[in-house]
Amino acid sequence: MYGGKADSLLRLKSNGFKVPEFFMIDINDYKQFLEDNNLMEKIERYLKDGKRELISLAIINGKINEKLKSKIKEEFKKLNSKFGTIKV
């Protein structure tokens, strides 16, 4: 299962629109990332306190577990094979 942005990109691509190559992170992996970093609690607190700008900062500073790192690296390798070197 994937999120709304991935769904939109897939629909555009399937309807013949030019969409850059991309890969998707499964929503369950994203939820695990949020859980691993206690981000849902932080997001709820930031929303309650009117500090929305801190949400993206908290996500950017989150730690990615080894399983997800491995999946992301594998997807980058697939893109590399199509387009040349992409720094991971």
Residue-wise pLDDT tens for the chain (88 aa)? 677 888 899 999 999 999 888 888 888 999 999 999 999 999 999 999 999 999 999 999 999 999 999 999 998 888 877 766 655 5
Distance from CA of residue 63 to its chain's centroid? 13
12 within domain boundaries: yes
Q: Are 46 and 54 in contact (CB under 8 A)?
A: yes
58 within domain boundaries: yes
Domain count of the fold of the chain: 1
55 within domain boundaries: yes
11 within domain boundaries: yes
Residues 6+ apart with CB under 8 A from 31: none
Q: Which two tokens stand for residue 20?
A: 């850059």
Q: Which two tokens stand for residue 82?
A: 């199509």
Q: Which two tokens stand for residue 75?
A: 């997807």
- Cα dihedral sign for 65, 2, 57, 72? positive
Q: Which two tokens stand for residue 24?
A: 């998707």
88 within domain boundaries: no
17: containing domain: 4-83
CA distance 82 to 36: 32
76 within domain boundaries: yes
pTM exceeding the 0.85 threshold for the entire prediction: no
